[in-house]
Structure 1
Amino acid sequence: MTFFTRLLAKAAKGADDLSYLYENDIVYPVHGLDDTKTFRDILLTWTIYFNDTLDVDKLQKSLTKLLSIGDWKKVGGRLRLKEDGGLEIHVPWVFTADRPAFSFTHANKHQAIEDHPAAKTLPKPNRKVAMWTPPKDFNDLAARQDAPATMEDLLVGDTPQMAVHVTSFTNATIIGLTWPHTLMDAMGLKALLHAWSLVLAGRESEVPALLGAKEDVLSTIAESSVDKQEASCMLPKELKGLNKLAFMARVAWELMTTPLSETRALCLPKTAMDSLRQQVHQDLASSSGESEKDVFVSDADVFTAWLIRMISTTSPTPRPMTLLQSINARFRLHELVNAQGVYVQNMVAVGFTLYSPDVTTGPMGAIALATRQQLAAQATELQVIGNLEAQRVAGDPMAALCSDPKALPVITSNWAKGKFFHITDFGPAVLQAGDASESRSNPPGTPFFQHTFCLKPPPVMMRHVISVIGKDHADNYWANLVLPSLVWANIEKSLGELEKPE
């Protein structure tokens, strides 16, 4: 936390200090990989569009019930600033109307979603490519107008760290969830949405225990693995001294001198993804003779390779690129894979894929293969443990940067393993189906569209950001992208080629 922020928080505490009223609150720690400068700057808002009318009262009561179970209470807490400048979470013993588990607001529009100026623009894929640019007033559908948008907002008074805003239409419902990144990552949200669905269905006994609320399991794993830790395979590529300074200066200069990027949601139907995958495997077969059975590349590898090509072709001259990608420890460390419960916190290591100019301007197959091979080398258990421990010691996930000093950085997160279109099932809250047509692909009470953004973007917003949400019930592939207009022009041209009849 900066000196200014600390002063602001202390001033707010002095003006409206409620701690003495709630001295019996349950106090939970904010772990080392949660309380970082990067995450303090980010409040996330996740919007879920249901093509059904949902019972708002059931939604509110079921989430309150969930956050009253065991250590799920931690999610319903309030952030407090400690004397040493660190964060901790204070939770009421019992949630009440005066001290709820989350801020809750509801707006009933009394109209069909197609009649609302902003909501009618939401994408409606029909086995075709769909792109959506959020309108300026979309925020009103995702959060109340005075919703907390910064960490400073959450440190004032007795503000719950999570806010829920529901917008009802006669044939649809939009739910907006806002929380600080210091609380959890996307897989933590997955656990929350699944548990919420269970409680809504009256299956409280099946709600998994929330683990690690008080003890930092990642620190424990790192300490128990001291004798086995190995040096990072990316250590020779870590930027230090003048090289790091040059990289940061170049990024800062480009941020100041280039136009702001455009945020859009992109939906690729299965046919488009199949075409891209076919191209990748044709490239690999041509260059190395390896068949599809010989080389595994994921949907994310294919999608990222395509976007790297779209980005590289906008550069006047070929240049190296560095992909900063998330590696989730939940899927990499055996103690977490076999855990008898869920972890609602941040468990992401940062991985790096370095592409030479020849690769970025070459065939997609080479890009996808480089992504897969470099990620695999960094995703072993010992590499991930070392990566997380280095982040904890440094106090920030972005402290270490591995890159060519002249590279263009691209940030990506892949949330496909969260299965967000399938894990959320609010069927028991459906009052009326909003879409009763035979062409409907998603079961009642499941998401039709999802979108994530920040009510107040971080101070430094990168120009190239890829966030993969995953597949919906019709096998459409969804992503949120932040890219320059020239890249979007390339994407539109490429999509036109993909949709041409054979």
Structure 2
Amino acid sequence: MCGLFSRKPVVEHCPTDRVVPLHFFENSLLVQGNNMAVPLVFDEVLDPQKIRHALEGLVKRDGWQRLGGRLKKNPSTGKIEWHIPTTFTPERPALNYSHVSHDIASSAHPAASKIPQASSRPSVVCDPDDLAPLAWEEGYSPAGISDYVDTDKPVLGLRIHSFTDRTIVVLQWQHVAFDALGLQYVVENWARMLWGQESSIPTPCGLESDPFAPLADGSRRNEKSEQHVLVSRKVGLGGMLKWGLGYGVDMLVRAKENRMVCIPQSYWEPQLKQALAELRAEATALGEDADKVFLTENDVVTAWVLRSVVLPQNMPAERTVAASIAMSLRKAFIGDLIPDPETSPYVGNAFGWANVLVTAGDVASKPLSWLARQVRKAINEQGTKAQHEAYYEMVRTSGTPLPIVIFGDGGMAQVGFSNWDKAGLFKLDFSPARVGKGEGTCMPVYVQENHGPVKPADGFFVFGKDGRGNYWTSAYKVKGQWGKLQELLEKNEV
């Protein structure tokens, strides 16, 4: 036995483990600072063992074993490494698993009873932290990667709560394991295991070497490489200190509140149609091809959320508002740094950013269509291979430990977006795990996330669209700001 499965530190390393170094995107405070938990709420009674065995079976497959890896610090170099068991055993399992059978209806449970219902208009509907007792083990408060280093705890965890009327399935992981698109690959193939579709599960690309190392070491750059489109807006040292002081106080000192917002289809769909109509009319007036006007649902949702941040704060009209939208790098580098995900997905972290720079006055006074177009423009312009390379060249030469560059100015308001719509959490069909009779699909009716310890203000998670077309998004805000937003929502002023 190489180590006991527990939270207590295990100093010894198992000599049969496969040791793999952390990759560029894993070796940063941005991912190591957060442990993640995603509760998936099903309005049916499910068999926990079927769900568990499906996920364990996936982790044991070739190429997927890293999800059952442990994190150890190399005593010689001091660097954190992956230690992946060659064989998973009851003593060294593939998952950190727990099941709680409550034997009551969810409405009688102090936390589960607070799971919200969709609203008929945009509304603040709940505090996701109220579900933290379900997301984590009793008494646990996430402290980041230190909870895993030099223990024998797998990076992937599964916690299931059974009620007489519903089941809450919680997927837990340390962020070094994967990002939002990596999450998509995990849940898609978890479902395939549950459905007995093992033959359709691809083998992830090998992770012994880091495919994105060329972005980190600058070997992709040459004299003909293009500059980043926002290079002139990069914040200098003085601006960084000013911005960091204000944002740092909000994140580390000031009290914050976590809330979930429901944006119903009856609201966002007309907003999307109106935005497209306005932009097409504008294109026609300018003699441009109106058929080329393009917006996604998420462009409009992101623009609406951005406006909901700015309006309640009564910002000066000239103040810069910077929106950082996380993007996966995979699409830009398929066939170059990584293979086709259909045959060999990259299950890890690989993210870039689209940055939108506007003023508070424009956000408040211009139509939503204008702001949605700024979002779409940033994603299109900054989502190319050349722009990602230019961005990470600035990261490489910045001298900071974070894989990010700050654009704007020292006095700006910062808003972050992590869109999980492509992860398809609301489309996860667990029908084969249904207990008793039932027909049709069995998909989550509610999804949220809990994380810690790093909790930046106005860092929004957009979870996607539920089965009834409603979008859900959550974030921490400085205490009092959520109440101001709800007041404006009730007056239809956002």
Residue of structure 2 equivalent to 1:4: none
Residue of structure 2 equivalent to 1:421: 426
* 3-state DSSP of counterpart to 1:110: coil
| 1:279 CA drift (Å) | 4.5
Q: Which amino acid aligns with 1:263?
A: N
Q: Which of 173, 177, 182 is matched with 1:179 structurally?
A: 173
CA contact (8 A) 1:281 1:292 kept: no
Aligned positions of 1:276-425 closer than 5 A: 276-281=271-276, 284=279, 289=285, 293-313=291-311, 314-318=313-317, 319-335=319-335, 336=338, 338-339=340-341, 340-363=343-366, 364-388=368-392, 390-391=394-395, 396-422=401-427, 424-425=428-429
> Could you tell me how far apart the structure 2 residues matched to 1:269 and 1:445 are?
21
Give the stretch that moved more between structures: 484-493 or 84-93: 484-493
Residues 109/61 of structure 1: CA separation in 2 closer, same or farther (3 Å cut): same
CA contact (8 A) 2:215 2:392 kept: no
Give the stretch that moved more between structures: 369-378 or 342-351: 369-378
Residues 93/253 of structure 1: CA separation in 2 closer, same or farther (3 Å cut): closer
Deviation digits for residues 25-51 of structure 1, max 9, x if unmatched? 122222011110221111111111111
CA contact (8 A) 1:142 1:174 kept: no
CA contact (8 A) 1:35 1:86 kept: no
Instruction: Could you tell me which runs of 5 or more consecutive residues in structure 1 were left unpaired when the two chains were aligned.
Output: 1-11, 437-442
Residue of structure 2 equivalent to 1:240: 236
Deviation digits for residues 62-86 of structure 1, max 9, x if unmatched? 2111111112000001001123232
* 3-state DSSP of counterpart to 1:322: strand
> Could you tell me how far apart the structure 1 residues matched to 2:273 and 2:250 are?
35
Residues 373/129 of structure 1: CA separation in 2 closer, same or farther (3 Å cut): closer
Residues 357/479 of structure 1: CA separation in 2 closer, same or farther (3 Å cut): closer
> Could you tell me how far apart the structure 2 residues matched to 1:481 and 1:226 are?
36
Residues 432/220 of structure 1: CA separation in 2 closer, same or farther (3 Å cut): farther
User: Aligned-residue CA RMSD in angstroms?
Assistant: 3.0
> Could you tell me how far apart the structure 1 residues matched to 2:88 and 2:128 are?
36
Residue of structure 1 equivalent to 2:263: 268
Give the stretch that moved more between structures: 389-398 or 265-274: 389-398
Residues 311/345 of structure 1: CA separation in 2 closer, same or farther (3 Å cut): same
The answer to whether 1:230 aligns with 2:232 is no
> Could you tell me how far apart the structure 2 residues matched to 1:78 and 1:206 are?
27
Residues 496/194 of structure 1: CA separation in 2 closer, same or farther (3 Å cut): farther
CA contact (8 A) 1:53 1:433 kept: no
Residues 134/156 of structure 1: CA separation in 2 closer, same or farther (3 Å cut): farther
CA contact (8 A) 2:7 2:153 kept: no
Deviation digits for residues 126-180 of structure 1, max 9, x if unmatched? 7665643236552221121255722212114311112211100112111112211
Give the structure-2-normalised TM-score. 0.87
| 1:122 CA drift (Å) | 0.8
> Could you tell me how far apart the structure 2 residues matched to 1:496 and 1:133 are?
19
Residues 410/162 of structure 1: CA separation in 2 closer, same or farther (3 Å cut): same
* 3-state DSSP of counterpart to 2:484: helix
Residue of structure 2 equivalent to 1:202: 196
| 1:58 CA drift (Å) | 1.2
| Amino-acid identity (%) | 24
Q: Which amino acid aligns with 2:358?
A: Y
Q: Which of 127, 132, 135 is matched with 1:134 structurally?
A: 127
Aligned length: 474
Normalized per residue, the structure richer in helix is: 1
> Could you tell me how far apart the structure 1 residues matched to 2:234 and 2:308 are?
26
Residue of structure 2 equivalent to 1:448: 445
Residues 296/136 of structure 1: CA separation in 2 closer, same or farther (3 Å cut): closer
The answer to whether 1:35 aligns with 2:27 is yes
| 1:404 CA drift (Å) | 2.3
Aligned positions of 1:241-260 closer than 5 A: 241-254=237-250, 260=255
The answer to whether 1:84 aligns with 2:77 is yes
* 3-state DSSP of counterpart to 1:159: coil
CA contact (8 A) 1:171 1:432 kept: no
* 3-state DSSP of counterpart to 2:189: helix
CA contact (8 A) 1:321 1:357 kept: yes
CA contact (8 A) 1:76 1:102 kept: yes
* 3-state DSSP of counterpart to 2:31: helix
| 1:18 CA drift (Å) | 2.1
Deviation digits for residues 230-261 of structure 1, max 9, x if unmatched? 2212211111222222222232355578x533
Residues 395/54 of structure 1: CA separation in 2 closer, same or farther (3 Å cut): farther
Residues 487/304 of structure 1: CA separation in 2 closer, same or farther (3 Å cut): farther
Residues 54/69 of structure 1: CA separation in 2 closer, same or farther (3 Å cut): same
CA contact (8 A) 1:272 1:498 kept: no
Residues 120/110 of structure 1: CA separation in 2 closer, same or farther (3 Å cut): same
CA contact (8 A) 1:465 1:482 kept: yes
Give the stretch that moved more between structures: 476-485 or 128-137: 128-137
Residues 278/345 of structure 1: CA separation in 2 closer, same or farther (3 Å cut): same
| 1:417 CA drift (Å) | 2.1
* 3-state DSSP of counterpart to 2:54: helix
CA contact (8 A) 1:198 1:207 kept: yes
Residue of structure 1 equivalent to 2:3: none
Residues 333/110 of structure 1: CA separation in 2 closer, same or farther (3 Å cut): same
Give the stretch that moved more between structures: 292-301 or 157-166: 292-301
Q: Which amino acid aligns with 1:330?
A: R
Residues 492/358 of structure 1: CA separation in 2 closer, same or farther (3 Å cut): closer
Give the stretch that moved more between structures: 345-354 or 298-307: 298-307
Q: Which amino acid aligns with 1:27?
A: V
> Could you tell me how far apart the structure 2 residues matched to 1:221 and 1:407 are?
28
> Could you tell me how far apart the structure 2 residues matched to 1:148 and 1:23 are?
31
CA contact (8 A) 1:48 1:176 kept: yes
> Could you tell me how far apart the structure 2 residues matched to 1:350 and 1:213 are?
23
